[in-house]
Amino acid sequence: MKLQGKTKLPPNREIVVFPHQDGESVFVAETVSDYVEFNKLCPEPQAPVKMFPGGEKQIDVTNPDYLKKRTDWAEKRMDYMAIKSLQPTEDLEFETVKLNDPETYKNWKKELKDFGFNDYQTNMIHGAILDANSLNVEKLEAARESFLARTGAKPKE
């Protein structure tokens, strides 16, 4: 596929800069294009099947054990997204986060805190990660308005 002469969509990129007395800390968050690596290491849990009298089977999405596993999986997936999204950040090295060990993914926020970033700053970094990996309504509308202004096209009423 080609779109406007391009064969690949460039990743969304968000940059957060924190000034300090001795310089600045810069974080770059980019779109995570796929979760193949994550899915191999951490497959999505499947709900158990209930058997009813008469042989009817039904998937039990309310099973407490399944719900706990599903919540844990979703949290690991979000942490994986954060870690992968921050990979373009120059000279960022996590000490306790290992991409081949999903049990360590949650450590990325703790490492930021231990380094000296407060909750507000960590939330700003997390917000940049989310913006890079999702559709931001304000940015979509601004892009639409810019396109319409450049081309003279009229929006549908």
35-76 pLDDT tens trace: 999 999 999 999 989 888 888 888 889 999 999 999 999 999
How much is the pLDDT for 145? 81
Q: pTM of this prediction?
A: 0.82
pLDDT > 70? residue 157: no
Number of other residues whose CB lies within 10 A of the CB of residue 25: 17
Nearest Cα neighbor of 44 from 118, 113, 102, 125 is 102
Return d(Cα 39, Cα 77) in angstroms, integer. Answer: 9
